[in-house]
Every structure is written in C-alpha cells, then in structure tokens.
Structure 1
Amino acid sequence: MSQLDATPDELPGGLWTIYYNGLARCNNAISACENAVGVEEDALAQYNAEAHFLRAYYMHWLWKFWGNIPYFEEDLESPYFARQYTADEIYAEIIDDLDFALEGDKLPMDVSGADEGRATKAAAMLLKARVVMYQNDESKYAEVLADMNAIYESGDYSLVDFASIWTREGEFCDESIFEVNHLPGEYGGKTWGDGWTGFGTNLPAFISPNELNGVDQLSGSSVYKGGWGFGPVRPEVLDIYEDGDDRMSASINHFADGTYTPRFQNTGYFMAKYAARTGYNEPPGDVDLNYENNLRIFRYAEVLLNAAELIVVHGVAPVGELTAEVAINEIRDRAGLDPAAPTAELVKLERRREFLGEGMRFWDLVRWGEASTLTENLPEYSSNRTWASTKKYLPIPQSEIDKTEGEFKLVQNDGY
C-alpha cells in the first residue's frame, strides 16, 4: 500500500471481509432492536444508536478504501448478492446512520467506569466530521463545526499531557473520545494458529525495532521492547516540529545503530505512540500478538483541529466560543509552544504534528487535493511510487468480483 501498487490480486483483502462482517453484525443488532420486547425504552434506543454508529464506522472504512461497494441492511437471500453502490451513495448511507445516532439524546456525550469503550454522541460527531470533510461536502461544514463546538462547550473532554496518552495509565483519559480496548494475553491470548481468538493487538510488535537491545535516544527511555521492525519514520519528519515541541519525542523513537537488526526501509527512527513496551503483554498466547495498547480512534485534539480547519481553511463562520485562535493555541500550548496566528498552512502542519503515526496523513492529503506529493523515486528508502487520482481507491478484490454474476456483477474501480 505504501508503494501505491496494489492490484486486484495483491492487496489487503482481509479488510473487505472484516468490515463486511461488522456491517452484517450491526444489521443483526439493529434488527434485534426493532423486534425487541420487554426492553427498557431508553436502553433500547441507546443500543440502536450504538449499532447505527458502528455500522457507519465500518462502512466509512470500506468507503474510504474502495468507494464503490455493495451495501445491504438486511440478511441477503440466496445467492447472497447485493447491489454495488457508488461512493456518493455510500456516503449518503453513512450520513443517515450518523444522523440517526445523533438525533435526540439516545447517546450520552461522555461515558465513564464500566461504560468506557461504548459509543458516545461525541464519537458520532467526530466520525461525521471525518466523513463530511473527506467528502468535501461544503453543505454540511456548518453542521460539523456546530458539533465540534458542542463537544467543546460540553466540558466533558480536555487535553492532557501528550506523552501520557499512550501509556496504560492514559487509556480512557480525559482526552479520549473513542478507543478500541485491547487486553493482554492473560484474558485469552491469540496464537499464530488462531489469530481471531483473544483481545490483544500486534501493532506494537509490527512497528518496533527488530531484536532491540538499546535505549531510545530521544527520550532516554528503556521501557521499549523489540518487534518486527516495520513502518519506520523518515528522519526528515523530525524537521516538521518546532524546537521544544513535546509531541516529537512522544511520537518518534530513535535507536542507535547496532542496538537492533535493520529491516525494510530502515531509518533508525520508529513510531513511538504504540511502541512495544515491557509488561504490556502476557501469556498465554504468542507474545507479539497480544499487546494491550488501546487504539485511540478519536481524541479531543481532533475536535480542536477540525474546528480550526473548518474556520481557517474552508471559511466557515465560527460557532459559539470555539474560534480558530482558541483551537489552534490550545493545541500549541499543550505541546509547549508559543501562541501563533491560525493560518491555513499552520492548521495543516499542526494536524500533521499532532496525529503522526495515527493513520491520518494519507486521508488528509487526499481530501486536500495534495496527494501528488506522494510521488517519489527514492532508492535510499526503497520507494518508487506514482500518485494518480485513481489511487484514491484500492482495486476491488478479484476474488470478490469472481463470486458475483448477472446484475450484481461487481465493476472494478477505475485504473485497475
């Protein structure tokens, strides 16, 4: 995927299966809500809203990866085919689900205690913002900005010390709006023979240096463990940070030559937020597959940066107390930086600094129309790639096309 050379026969097709399973399960949950008897009304409304939020979440990934995809809301009859929607039609379905979840007070703005990890109104608002802004749907920008202001004025969330977010103690912190709750192997560990059993993640192993025996040079920390050595950070990324920016050492690790075994595209710099840490996985199960690092999906920082972008870059009139100056300088103050005027260039740069390693950058470049910067031929990084507008979407898996026929025959995305 990093080389932009996926083919219908060679691509991460598992994503297709995973998110369509999610869609089907949400459909079942929504059907159960519609047919339930003897369930307290408020609880039933909450369950229904949660299922609609999750369906929108799963579909938004299928939509971003593939665009023009099958969609269904009820069990399919034999031969189990569904109509292929256009990307714009899928967008409309996602918005419908999110509007349903947001209507009224079916979801709380925040949760705590045993409810941590459940969907909230704030999470649905942020998902709607991501989808609307990726679609460049100007007709809904004002709605989205009003949602960001509602989260801001609720007082339920706040920025915390940046480095603390990524530790065990930082899970479900005051900045967390939605996160995936991974658990270590002691709760049921995954093995290489059974990767779907258990609750841990292999992400920390994936991004940490291979056979590590050294200390992070940026923070001086020795808490990190070795992993598989993939997804390194390029050295020039350090230059995007101003002097004194606390986010740099919390986002990037640097290990000296000789303290690990280099792997593909090695630079010596690695992603730090989800790095493998000592004591974050336990047997049973295979250690590398069972880290407990929660995946932070939505953070309060995104509320502020969305607002700043909508106001400064897209010209939406400010709503309530949340101005672009307030938003951008809350972000900068937390990072240890002086206040600055919120220009379009700075808003985009702060977004890059804030979310480094969190899977945001590619989608931002695409929606801003700046993805041509991905084109490069850099032998030192074993990277030779060319951006084209058709690369916005992956090719539909050929194995899925081969399963369909007649009026339901899947049509391949342009460019493949």
Structure 2
Amino acid sequence: MNKYIKILLIATLFSASSCSDDFLTIYPTSSQEAGGEATEGAILANLGSCYQILLFDSYADYQYNSVVLMSDLRSDDIFKGGQNAGDQAFLYRLSQLDANAEELPEGLWNIYYSGLSRTNNAISACENAIGVSEEKVNQYSAEAHFLRAYYVHWLWKFWGNIPYFEEDLPEPYMSEQYTADEIYTQIIEDLDYAIEGDKLPMQTTPQNDGRATKAAAMMLKARVVMYQQDQSRYNEVMADMAEIISSGDFELADYASIWTRDGEFGSGSIFEANHLPEGKDWGAAWQGYGTNLPAFISPNELLSGVDQLSGVANYIGGWGFGPVREQTVEIFEDGDARLPASINYFEEGTYTPRFQNTGYFMAKYAARAGYNEAPYTQDLNYENNVRIFRYAETLLNAAELIVIHGVAPVDGVSAQNCLDMVRNRAGLESIPATAENIKLERRREFVGEGMRFWDVVRWGDTQQLNDNLPEFSSVRTWEPYMKYLPIPQSEIDKTEGEFKLQQNEGYN
C-alpha cells in the first residue's frame, strides 16, 4: 500500500495549494513561486498536489461529493436512500432531476477547480524546469495535462458552460465563462498532448501504481469524445482502443477479485485513485487519503455481514445511501458472475431499512471489515481504491464504436470478440454484437461505477430516466436542459461585470 502517490503527497501535504471561496485564485506552492525556476523537487511537489485531488471526491470542502455516487444518482440504477428525503436533501433533489442553484453538489465544483489550479501550477513548473532531463520534464508535464483534463472534464460534464483559465489571474481573480463546446476543445488539447510522443508509458511499473499512463489518457479521451458525440474523432479513439488491446499490458481479471484489497492495480486496471485508511477528519476538509464512499452506501446498523448473493461474510454497516433499484438486479442473466460482485442483498432483520429501501445495496465499494484501520474518524477513511478506468471499458468502447457508430475495425479488433471477452469472463455465452446487446452489457459491467447516467445521456436514451414510482418517492421527468446542472448561485454571486457568470439554460 506504500504507493508512489502517498510518498509524494506526504511531502506536499502542507505546501500544496488549497481551495477557498476564491476558487479561481492560483496559489503557488512554497517551493516555487509562480513563473519562477523549478527544480525537480518543486515540480514533484506541484504534481503531488495534483494527484491529491483524486482523494478528495468522497469528502472534502465539508461535503459528501463522491463523483461515483453523484453520477449514479441521476441514473436508473439506484435511489438516493439515507434516513429520509431531507437527509442530504441536495442529493434527493439531484436524484429527482430537480437540482437548483442553491441545492446541488457544490463540493465537486470547488474540488475540481482546485484541481485545475493545481495542475496549472504543475504545468508552469515544468515549463520553468532547471536541472531536469527533457524526458522527465515531458513525462511530468504529460501527467499534469492528463490530470487537468480529468478534473476539467467533470466540471464540463456536470455544468457544461464554465469558467476556465490556465494562468495566474489578476485581480479580481475572475475568468471568462466558456461554452461547453469550447471547454471540450481545451480538454482534447490536453489529452492530445498527454498521448502524443509516448511521453507516458502505456502501463506503470508496480512501484509507480497510481500515476497517469498513456492508456489512462486514451481512455479519458474516449469518454470525452464519445460523450461529445464528436464523430470526427471516432477513428482516433478506435485506434487508441486497438493500441491498448494489442499492447498486451492488460487482461480481464476475475470479476469478484477486482474489488478487494488484493485486486487493486490488477491486470484489468488502467487507472485508480489510491485510497489509504488514514488522515481524513471532519474538521479537516482538505487532507488525508481515505474514502467515505463505503460508509455512505452500506446498509445502516448491519448486524450480519453475510451477503446473500455472494456468500461473502465480511461486510459491515454504514449509512444506507444509494440503495439499488430492483429493476437493476433484473438486468443480469442467470449465472452472471457480475451480479454478486456488484450488488449485495442482506436478510431482512439484519439491518435497519432506511428511505427508499429495496434490500439491495452497491457491493463494489461496500464497507468491509479490515479495510479501515484509521485510529479516528473511520467513516471517512476506508481504503477502497476507486477504479477509474478498467480494461473492460476499452473492449466495450471498441465494440460500441464499430457497431453503433460504424467505425472500421483496427488491427483485427472485432466487436464480437470484444463483447465475447467481457461475457466469457462473466461466465456467459456469446450473443450477437448488436447495439442493444452492447448497451446492456455496458450497464451490467459498470453498475455502481458512475457510468450509467452519462451513457444514457450520450445515447439519447433519456426516456429511461423518467420515473413514476410514488412507492419509492421517485417521480421525475427528464428534460433536455437537465444534461447540465445549474451553476451554483454562490459562485454567480462572487462574479461581476464582464466576468459575471451566466446561469445554464432552464434554471433562470
């Protein structure tokens, strides 16, 4: 567990830029003044602060912000749960497609703008490097460009039309608001830089687990291009997927093993956030290595940790958010190994049912005994790594590009073979590689990983998000403007004059 990222973060924890009300303000680290010469140590200090942002999305800025949960809540896979509708009320509004400018996941806005600020610092340090080899500078710069693209892509997905900056801002520390299409262009520029010229290895060595790779940059480019429906770049993305497949650096691991401690950075993992069970506290909103997601999504007051679907007996209780919808369980075929690895079911009477209870809970990041040895604030300090990109997504991306988007196969990669590989690993027989089957396979493969909502939106299948389930307090109707959340009113109020933020359409 003593991975590269932790070593780097310990050295930078107190020197890294922080996030505050002035989210557009860039603060240089103490080891390098903005625009000044940067030694390798200064570059690594800045880079370490960039990676730290990956560890903040479950709890930071005094809010619960798991990007996995924030994404899935608007999907048709889970409900909000918790004690009642008013428990974390902004999450209920999010789940009901009813977010407003005062109640929404503002923590993600602050976290990822802090990420943008920090990555800008790291890129600036690389541009002013002294005494560092060109090869290392190129690698560090590519890592920073990838991370900037990753953080900005979440702001882009959630809010669309956002402020953006790449340099220190003069007073009053405000930036121009760009359209979603303009932000997309900026993200692609960063990813092209990270991918081109083999600045990054396709896969890391074990001692560097958690660092950005060429494969991770290719996977992020695929997500962004496919979400934008940018057909002009589909061939590029297909070539990237084929390169990952033909590299031989990745293979599909046993599905259940992916989500355990021993499965971290496994053969099917392309990029992960490396959480460790220490360092976070309620009163320290911007430090530590643990994750709160397992506590958030596990059943309340669990007495028996035996999951009835898998037989695994080491689960422990949590807060009861994110119960899985019954219809999600029904999408799995008999014998699909992904069902017991993705969804937990506990016997009635072994836990306390909460709001929107279905009896089913998300399993992949569930709280497990022995995965939290923090001496304090254990609910914030689980060690479950968040799997950001997996090889299975590479295969299903390739299948989708070929079948749904009509892209020509590359290097002998076929849609049928890609689909078969994913299904064979799940213990299932081959089925035709049709658009319907590929979409359904993607849903099965990524339950609980924050993928479903974004897929439904980009496919135009948003009618599936409509609900008329009063028995589960979920009645909602999708409208096209809901693709983006409202810009936080608190951020609009901070801007003025030519920099005044404009609210997204549909929320005025």
TM-score, normalised to structure 2, is 0.81
Q: Which residue of 2 aligns with 1:283?
A: 374
Residue 285 of structure 1 and its aligned partner are, at CA, apart by 2.2
Q: What is the aligned counterpart of 2:191 among 98, 113, 116? A: 98
The match for 2:268 is: 175
SS of 1:178's equivalent in the other structure is strand
Secondary structure of 1:104's counterpart equals helix
Measured in 2, the distance between the counterparts of 1:37 and 1:157 equals 36
Partner of 1:196: 286
Alignment of 1:379-390 (within 5 A): 379-390=470-481
SS in 1 for 2:429: coil
Q: Secondary structure at the match of 2:330?
A: helix
| 1:392 corresponds to 2:475 | no
Q: Is 1:75 aligned to 2:165, yes or no? A: no
Partner amino acid, structure 1, of 2:137: L
Contact 1:372 1:388 in 2 (8 A): no
Match of 1:241 in 2: 332
Partner of residue 21, structure 1: 114
1:171-320 equivalences in 2 (<5 Å): 171-185=264-278, 189-214=279-304, 215-320=306-411
| C-alpha separation in 1, matches of 2:371 and 2:343 | 19
For residues 286-365 of structure 1, what are the structure 2 equivalents within 5 Å?
286-365=377-456
Q: What does residue 135 of structure 1 align with?
A: 228
Q: Contact between 1:205 and 1:227, CA under 8 Å: does it hold in 2?
A: yes
Alignment of 1:28-107 (within 5 A): 28-107=121-200
> 1:283, 1:204 → 2: CA distance?
14
Partner of 1:103, secondary structure, is helix
Distance 1:338 1:384 in 2: 37
Letter in 2 for 1:415: G
Aligned-residue offset at 1:41: 1.2
Equivalent position of 1:145 in the other structure = 238
Q: Matches of 1:331 and 1:5 in 2, distance apart?
A: 36
Unaligned runs of 5+ in 2: 1-93
Contact 1:208/1:276 (8 A) holds in 2: yes
**Post-superposition offset of 1:113:** 1.8
Residues 336-391 of structure 1: CA deviation (Å, up to 9, x unaligned): 00112100000000000000000000000000011122111211211111110010
Report the more deviating stretch, 55-64 or 256-265.
256-265
What is the rounded CA distance, in whole Å, between the counterparts of 1:93 and 1:193 in structure 2?
35
Unaligned runs of 5+ in 1: none
1:367 corresponds to which residue?
Answer: 458
Q: In 2, are the aligned partners of 1:180 and 1:295 still within 8 Å (CA)?
A: yes
* One-letter amino acid of the structure 2 residue matched with residue 198 of structure 1: G
Task: Give the C-alpha shift of residue 196 in structure 1.
Answer: 2.7
Residue 401, structure 1, aligned to residue 492, structure 2: yes
- What CA distance in whole angstroms lies between the structure 1 residues aligned with 2:141 and 2:280? 31
Q: CA deviation at 1:321?
A: 2.2
Q: Residue 6 of structure 1 corresponds to which residue in structure 2? A: 99
- Aligned AA for 2:209? E
Amino acid corresponding to residue 263 of structure 2 in structure 1 = G
Deviations 1:233-281 (A, max 9, x none): 0122121111111000000000111110111211100000000000000
Q: Secondary structure at the match of 1:173?
A: coil
> Over aligned residue pairs, what C-alpha RMSD do you find?
0.8
Query: Normalization by structure 1: what TM-score?
Result: 0.98
Helix, strand or coil for the counterpart of 2:388?
strand
Counterpart Cα distance in 2 of 1:310 and 1:113: 31
Query: How many matched pairs?
Result: 413
Q: How much does 1:112 deviate?
A: 1.8
Contact 1:208 1:230 in 2 (8 A): yes
Higher mean C-alpha deviation, range 192-201 or range 109-118: 192-201
Whole-angstrom CA distance in 1 between matches of 2:358 and 2:241: 38
Say which SS state the counterpart of residue 125 (structure 2) adopts. Answer: helix
Q: Distance in 2 between the 1:235 and 1:295 partners?
A: 24
Residues 19-75 of structure 1 show CA distances to partners (whole Å, capped at 9, x for unaligned) of 000000000000000011110111110000000000000000000000000000001
CA distance in 1, matches of 2:97, 2:327: 21
Paired AA for residue 288 in structure 2? G
Give SS of 2:468's match: strand
Residue type of the partner of 1:146? A
Report the CA distance between 1:195 and its aligned residue.
3.6
Three-state SS of the structure 1 residue aligned to 2:198 is coil
Q: Aligned partners of 1:341, 1:236: CA distance in 2, in Å?
A: 23
Identity %: 71
SS at 2:95 equivalent: coil
Checking the alignment, whether the CA contact within 8 Å between 1:65 and 1:394 is kept in structure 2 is yes
Q: Partners of 1:219 and 1:373 in 2: how far apart? A: 29
AA of the residue aligned to 2:124: S
Distance 1:219 1:174 in 2: 22
Aligned mates of 1:314, 1:410 — CA distance in 2? 36
Cα deviations by residue, 1:275-303 (Å, 9 ceiling, x for unpaired) = 00000001222111100000000000000
Determine the C-alpha separation between the residues in 2 that align with 1:175 and 1:195: 32
Output the amino acid matched with 1:138. Q
- Secondary structure at the aligned position of 1:201 is classed as coil
- Whole-angstrom CA distance in 1 between matches of 2:219 and 2:477: 31
- The answer to whether the 8 Å contact 1:224/1:276 transfers is yes
Amino acid at match of 2:437: L
| Structure 1 residue identity aligned to 2:318 | G
Asked if 2 retains the 8 angstrom alpha-carbon contact of 1:201 and 1:292, the reply is yes
- Matches of 1:9 and 1:295 in 2, distance apart? 29
